[in-house]
Structures are given as structure tokens and as C-alpha cells.
Structure 1
Amino acid sequence: MKICLYIYASVVTFFWITTRLVNCQAALRGQWDFVGYSGVSCMHCILSTNTNKAIFIERVELSTDVEKDGKPTYSVEYDLDTNEIRPLTTLSNTFCSAGSYLPNGTIVNLAGAEAGKGFSEGFNRIRLFNPCDDKTCDWQNDVYNLTENRWYPTVEMLADGTLFIIGGSSKGAGVNNATINVPSFEIYPSAPGAKPIPFQFLVDTLPNNLYPLVHLLTNGNLFILANQKAIVYDVTSQQIKINLPDVPRAARNYPLTGASVLLPLDSSNKSEVLVCGGGNKISSTQTVGEISCARISPMSSNPSWEIEEMPFGRLMPDPTILADGTVLILNGCYEGTAGFGKGKNPVLTPVLYNPKAQAGSRFTIMQPSYIPRMYHSVAMTMPSGQVLVTGSNPNRTPMFTGPYPTEFRVETFSPPYLFSSVPQPKIQQAPKNLKYGQSFEIEYVAYSGTRKITANFLNPGFVTHSIHMSQRLVWLDIIKLEDNKLSVMAPAGSTLAPPAPYLLHIVDNGIPSKAVWVSLSS
């Protein structure tokens, strides 16, 4: 009996020590967890507003085993609490599409690819989804059409809540070229009969200019980068306001896919853009992932690029803004190019970028995953503060064996802030609808005891192909801090935060709460 008790006590002690070591490691480098299966191989992802669900979208091919009304479908609603899927109805090919929210929370998915397997051509289609809690909502398919066929276009929400839709090609290709290039933009919703607006910049930046990198700056203009060229563009006057210096070292667009992020904003109205990774040349055997990140303030009097180096190079990165205002860079590979199975040597290790740290000390290496996330992967911050990671379908046709198979596994990455000895703060009550410049109260519970409480709005964006369309975090001005109430000011204007649904977080001494959805409007 004494021996048995001793063994039992030893096992319990070992388990306790091991658990403490794991938690300590997670507090430094985060933690990965496998949570479920996606049903479709997720190439496009957006959160469903006012619910705790995400919408996954795939392309028409032989990979799905999901059916709706007896027919295959390529989109599902994924429950972030239960990890269950609900099939949605798709009618056209959504491959290489784009998307965003409308101000009322409606999800817009637009463009796509060629017809096939009983599904219609999706190049110029617009699909709408109005989120619900009762499992009755579905895609309103092909309700409107774009003015041009677009494969690999980018969408960015403008200050008036309309969507800026730019670029793409008229059909799929390994590299864009003059015969299929679509050098124009359009606005949705727009007046009946509106024509596409020619955009010479997308002629000048051939061939590496698909999925242009676009961000709404706080003066209402757009930062646009394609290939290595960058501009500040005024949509209203249809004029280039600033020709920025070329981004150094490498092209940053498909198939040399890099990525960009608009760094967290506040009422100072300063805008900074970070561009990371990419490929150094077109070559199936010699292209390596670019190690540099380039940072610029496009609205400054003399904008220039500040170069930093990541711990390692990365092609096809996903820069995901976390709930505390840091940026997690994950997914992708070291070698090859995007598309057609040319990527290899996956980068399994995320890095955390702190935009407020001093240059030279902004990157921290996180815990690696064990699942390669190559071409057609996604990553997105969830209301819980975790990061949803899924997808990877780098092959011409679905493959279920080999080093980089078509992936249906869903993971979450929990950042270090979720492993603090201090629990997450809790939002107990907050308004659901807000106006610009409105002061409002958040009732909360915080546990750090430091009274260092901040709050932010986060739009996680529409994510596909390393592009996080309309992703945006805005820090809110604090008016008054009490023991259980935080008085804050909504953003003053729509150039700082376009009218849209946002995740509202409070942050207690660096530890974010679970978010609640709020709607911001004029």
C-alpha cells in the first residue's frame, strides 16, 4: 500500500510539474491546439458578425465532402464554440475571390473563377450573407454583378462604408500579363450603370500585381502597393497624391506573395504600414522567402521605408492583428512561389511583432505548429483572443497524402497573453450600437490590480491568399476609469474607423478580454 501511494504521489507530482512547465512555456511562446475539421478546405475566411461563428469558403473541385440539399457545396458556417459545421449554398465558383463587410454587418463575397462541376462562372459574381443565430441564414448567391471579371482582386472598405474593388485578371494564371490584366477599380454599392475606373498603376506594375495590397489611411486616401511600387491614392479625385519610394529588396505580390498590415491606429491619426516577406525572383528552384519587413508612414512629410528583418524568411505570410495590438506573422514557406504546388519547406514557427517596441527588438519567436500551412491557408483573430488557423491546398488538384496535402484540420493558436497568472478581464455590459465621437461606458471586471485598462475596436477582415482585407485595429480614447466602469470615446470619424461591425476588447495590463460585437455608424 505504501509503495502504491508513493507511486501515485510521484505521478501526481510529475503531472503537476509538467503542467506548470507547459503553462510556463505557453506564457512565453503561446500554444497550439487541434480543435476540429473544416468540412471544406478553407481558402477564404471571415467572421460572422454578432455570432461566434466563421464563414469558410473553398473553390469548386473534388475535395469537398459537404453537401447541401443533396448537392456538393463549397462553403460552411463554422461554430467557434462547438467546432461544428453547417453547410451553406454556393452556386458559382468562389475560387480566388475577395470580400468584406457592409456597414450593417452583411458579408460580401465577390469575384471568383471559371465554371465547373455544375457550378457557374464566378468571375463577376457578388454574393451576400446576413448572419443569424437560428441556422436559417445562407448565401444570397449572384445577387449582383461586378462590372468586370476579376480573379485575385482586392477589397478595402472606404470611409463612407462602400467597398473599393481593385485589380485582378480576367482568368486564372501563374503570373499576370497584359492580355488578361484588369487595370481598373470599381465601387460597391454604386449607382446603376457605373463604369469601372481605369487604373494605370496596374499596368505599370505588371506582372506581379495580383491581389494588390491596399489600406485606408486616416486622411481618407488609400495606400496601394503592387510589385515593388507604392502610392497614396485619392479615390474621390481619382488622382495619385504621392508616389512613394519603391519597397526595397523584393516584390510583394502573387506569385512572389508577401503581405501587409495597417498597424494599430489611435486618435493621433498617424498611419503606418508594415509589409513583410515575399519572394526574391520567379524561379521554381531558386526563389527563397524574403526575410525583410519594410515599414512606412505614408502620410509623413518625407515618407521612407524602415527595413527590419524577421528571424527567418517567409513566402505567403499571414500578418494577423491580435487583440492586444501586436501582430502575429504565421503560415507560408521558405522556398518556391505561390500556386501550382511550387512552394516547399514550410515555415511552422510564427513570430510576434510588437509595433511599439524599439527597432531591432520587435520580433519574438513563438511555439511552432506541426501542420504545414502552405498556399491557400488562413489565419484570423477570434473573439476569444485566440487565432483561428486552417486551410492549405497548394496542389493543382486535391491531394490527401504527401508532404503538403489538402488540409481540413482546424487549429487555434493561443498567444502568450492567455497564459498569464492573471485571468482575462471580462466585459459585462457595453452598447451594441455607437455613433462617431460618442462617449460610452463599458462595465467590466479586471484582475491585474494595476488599473492599466485600455480598449480597442478590431475588424479582423476578410482573409485569403495572405491578404487581410479591411483588417484594422483602433485604440479608443479613455475618458474616465473607475473600479468597474470604463468611459471611452468612439472614434471621431470614419477615416479612422469606417462604419462597420467591430470586435470590442478591453485590455487589462496587456491581457485582452473576450470581445463583444459593436456596430459603428454616423
Structure 2
Amino acid sequence: MHMQLFHNNKVVIFDSTNFGPSNLSLPKHRCLEKDYLNQKKPANIDCTAHSFLYDIATNTYRPLVVHSNVWASSGANDDDGILVQSGGYNHGSKKIRIFRPTNSETCDWLEVNQMLRQGRYYATTQSLPDGRIIVVGGHAAFNYEFFPKAAVSPGGDIYSLPFLKSTFDHIEVSNLYPFLHLLPDGNLFIFANRHSILLNYMKHEVVRKFPPIPGARRSTPLTGSSVLLPLNLTGVRDNPISIESLDAEVMICGGAKGGAYVKASKGEHVLASTTCGRLKVTEKEPKWVMEKMPLRRVMPDMLLLPTSDVIIVNGAKRGSAMWEMADDPVLHPVLYVACESDPSRRFIVMNPSSTPRLFQSSAILMPDGRILVGGSNPTGSYKFQGVKYPTDTSLEAFSPHYLDPQFDDVRPSISSIEGAPGNVNVMSYGQQLSVKFDLKHLNPGRGFDVTLIAPSFTTHSFAMNQRLLVLDCAGVEEISNGVYNMTVYAPPTKNIAPPGYYMMFVVHDGIPSPGAWAKLE
């Protein structure tokens, strides 16, 4: 259900603790008291794990112990790459947990003493430029708060957001897991149901309202997905005035019509949406530009690729999120080429999986450019057989077209990232960087890009904190046979790229290198 990639190339994966025993035993024959159904009765004894740490390099995993219910929780990495994980269900709804990425075989979940002020079930988090994390919304939670909390804070560290109440539908809810995107001007774009606003979270003021997206509803349980399209920093160093006015465009795809959730609860699975909308949120009078996907989708996952394209995976053609409310799984990923000028050529249907990924599946980008896809639990508890769409605890990796072996000769490989002397794999804002890479074959006339991607916390069809930046490049030169040096500039401000770890990719002729980790501070 939930995934977070770390800078040590490991992924923490976890699920609810109240669906019943999993297929993975807790370490060292450990057992915990759990009440699977959260009813007032004696607790059950659970000796199975509901979280594990996956090692990409070795394709191995280690079970972990999570003490409170993390169902429909949220998370964000802080500027040291530590996962701050918040909320959940029932007794877990106010909990804050952390996971430190180390190579120790004993590292595990830790629940901190500080708790959320409001129970957060289906809330969304975003890493902020000042090092804090904002937690927005949740089921019947029409407000937001921050972690860590200020030592002294008028108003008690919780701030009303009437926008969330205005987008709440008592029957279909339709504003769970609001989409959050941090914009270059430092304000926060918030989308729920069909509506969106711009929030100045420092002054706690709504500074702008946007027109509603046409057509379907897009928030859980009528679930769509969203990305902030790549921020292109080319030329920014020569025009500092343009930094805060940098073009920013949000894209939202999929979802379902109002009423789909109610009909699905009665066994009628209506067709999902075919549309995507793009909104240039930095324009004076922005309007949604609508496009049609080649495949209908509810519960899609949208991920930014190193090439600046978008991949859309998972989901169904009919129904809604929640238990047994979707049908007709979509097995084909779709590539969206955002920079293609001809809208009819932007969507490309790719080779399919054989595994349905429905409610509570998830996906993240890995440093090698593959997409890690896992899970699917469309039933109300773990049911591994005897139902149309059983619980699936498998992981699979999807390889986009750029990983085809035919491109190996034109695939760069980063050997070092250097700033000031001794400042290896660490970037300061606006700093000139030297990126060295190997390349077997240079395609004459074909350019280079360097992209930075923040690793996402993905759950329920939204990759929180995901962002991609195309760095400003001052030139590339061959320093020896097949060895190149590119001079680029780190992002200029914390609003454009909050502090933390990023994957860096060199892209040549549309083919990206494997990612190299660098810390921005």
C-alpha cells in the first residue's frame, strides 16, 4: 500500500495492520498483540509482518515491526533523508513514525513521542523549503498542521482550511488524499475533488482559486492521480528575476464520475474517466487544457521519468476505489510525452503486465530507471484465493523503453558529481557542479540534459513530494576517450527544490544514465 525509496537504494514498504495475518513472519519469532478489526474485544496475537525493507541491489527483503495501524497514512523524507511517516487508522491516526535509512540489519520503525493534533486518515504530506513537513486534510479533517511543531505557536499548531470542507461530499467523500504541489513561488497548490487553490502556508491565506477541472472527480475514492510537470531551469542563472515566476504546470489524469462510488457499492461498475487535464498555475488566467488518454483509468499511478516524460500505471477501467468496487484491470502502462507539440502523439501504450494492480497497489521510480510496482488488496481483508481479484503481495519491475539493450552504447554512466573541492555528491543552492560521465557512443547533434528527481512517498495513486528539475547546463566537453564533463548549476532556491536527497540522471538523446544520489543543502 505504501512505498518510500531511500538514498541507500532500499525501499520501505508497508500495509495496514488490521487486515489479518500476512504471508511474512515477524523477525526472530516475535509476536505482537493486534486487534485486526479494531473492535472492542480481546486482542489477537499476530506473528506476521506488515512492513518490510526491500534491497533493490540484492532483490532481498527484511521484515520490520510497525506498532500502530498505518492504513491510509502519509509520509515525506526530511532534509537528511529520514522518512517522517504520519497518521493512519484508528489508534494509529495521530501517530508519527520515523524510519532512518541505514545499512544496519537491525534498523526498524520508531514511533516518536510527539503526536499529530488531528487524526489523519487519508491525509497528504509535502516537504517544505524550511525543513518542516506539512500534513493536509484527511477524512473529515478540514485543516492542516506541521512537523516538527514550533516551540511556541499561537493557534495550537493546527490551521483551518475551509476549502477542504467545501470539497467534501458526505456520500462519496471525494476529497481524500488531496494533491499537493510546492510551486516555485513558495506557495502550495492543493487540489481536492474537482477544485484547487493556492495556499500561502506561511501566512495561512488562500491567495488564489483556480477553475474546476472539467468532467470526472479526481480525488479518492473516485481516484485520479497528479504530477507537477518538470521544472525547466535552463537560463535561470542569467535571469534571477525569473525564478519565482518560473512556469509551473500541474497535470491530473483519471478518476470517475460523481455517483460511481455509490453505484460500485451496489455492484455496478461504471466506466472510468478517459481524460487528463493540464493547468499552467503560474499564468494570469489559467485554464484547464483537456486531453484524452488511450485507456480509461481509475486509481492510476503517475510517475515522472528521468527523460521528463510521465508514466501512468495500475488501476481499472471501471468502478471506484475501496473494497471490491473496481473491475476490468488496466494492464498496459501508458507513456505520456509531455514536450510533444502534437497532442495526438503524446500518449504511447506500452507492453502489459499480467498482474492486476487495483485498490492499494503502489509504484515508485527506482534509481536504475525501472518502475517498482507492487501490491493489490481489493478485498476487505487479505484473501489470497477464492475471489475474482485476490490479494497480491508480489513486486514486479517495469522497464521503460529507454532500458532496451539496443540503447546501451548511447547510455551515459555518471562517475562523479563535484562542487567545491571535497564537496562530492553534495550540492549547494545555485552552485556550479562538475558532472563526469562515461559514454561509449556520442550521437552527433543530439543534446544532453541533467535531471534531478526527488524520491516519492507513494500511496493510493499519488506520489507525494515527487518533483523533477531540468538543470541549467553551461556546456559539455570530452576530457578523454569516452569520458565527458558537463558543467551544470544546482537549483537556485529552496522553493524550487526543498533540501534533501535527489536522484541525478544524465540524459543523452533521450536515453538516461542510471541515477546517482546527491544531497541538496
| TM value normalised by structure 2 | 0.86
CA–CA distance in structure 1, aligned partners of residues 305 and 388 of structure 2: 30
Alpha-carbon offset, residue 495 of structure 1: 1.1
- 1:31-180 equivalences under 5 Å are 43-49=1-7, 51-60=8-17, 61-64=19-22, 65-69=24-28, 70-71=30-31, 72-114=48-90, 121-169=91-139
**Alignment match, 2:253:** 276
Secondary structure at the aligned position of 1:360 is classed as: helix
Counterpart for residue 407 of structure 2: 422
CA contact (8 A) 1:127 1:144 kept: no
Classify the secondary structure of the residue corresponding to 1:411. Answer: strand
Deviation at 1:287, TM superposition (A): 2.8
Q: Map of 1:2-21 to 2, 5 A cutoff?
A: none
1:396 has 2:380 as partner: yes
Structure 1 residue 132: Cα displacement? 0.8
User: What is the SS of the residue equivalent to 2:402?
Assistant: helix
Cα separation, 1, equivalents of 2:302 and 2:319: 20
Query: Which amino acid in 1 is paired with 2:451?
Result: N
One-letter amino acid matched to 1:314: R
Distance 2:413 2:21 in 1: 40
* 2:397 counterpart of 1:412: yes
Which residues of structure 2 form unaligned runs of 5+? 32-47, 237-245, 418-423, 479-483
Q: Which has the higher contact order (CA 8 A, sep 6+)?
A: 1
Aligned equivalents of 2:390 and 2:375: distance in 1? 10
Aligned residues: 461
Deviation at 1:336, TM superposition (A): 1.1
Asked whether 1:455 is paired with 2:417, we answer no
Structure 1: state its 5+ residue gaps: 1-42, 115-120, 170-180
RMSD between aligned alpha carbons?
A: 1.3
- Runs of 4+ aligned residues of structure 1 deviating over 3 Å after TM superposition are none
Q: 1:235-384 to 2 correspondence within 5 Å?
A: 235-267=201-233, 269-282=246-259, 283-284=263-264, 285-358=268-341, 359-384=343-368
Contact 2:359–2:378 at 8 Å: present in 1 too?
A: yes
Letter in 2 for 1:245: P
* Contact map agreement 1:128 1:143 (CA 8 A) in 2: no
One-letter amino acid of the structure 2 residue matched with residue 264 of structure 1? P
Cα distance in structure 2, aligned partners of 1:420 and 1:299: 40
Counterpart residue number, 1:8: none
Contact 2:269 2:320 in 1 (8 A): no
Amino acid at match of 1:55: V
Give the corresponding residue for 1:11.
none
CA distance in 1 between partners of 2:459 and 2:345 (Å): 29
Partner SS, residue 482 of structure 1? strand
Q: Deviations over 1:426-471 (max 9, x none)?
A: 1111132111001111110123413622111101310000011010
Among residues 138, 142, 145, which one is paired with 1:186 in the alignment? 145
Structure 1 residue 286: Cα displacement: 4.6
Distance 2:348 2:365 in 1: 18
Sequence identity percentage:
35
Query: Distance in 2 between the 1:475 and 1:182 partners?
Result: 36
| TM-score, scaled relative to structure 1 | 0.86
Query: How many Å separate the matches in 2 of 1:149 and 1:68?
Result: 30
Using the alignment, how far apart are the partners of 2:98 and 2:425 within structure 1? 22
Equivalent position of 2:42 in the other structure: none
In 2, Cα distance between equivalents of 1:63 and 1:427: 43
- Alignment correspondent of 1:201: 163
Partner residue of 2:36?
none
2:45 aligned partner: none
> What are the superposed Cα offsets for residues 68-125 of structure 1, whole Å, 9 maximum, x if unpaired?
34123311100112221111221111111000100111111110112xxxxxx11000
Quote the residue 2:38 is aligned against: none
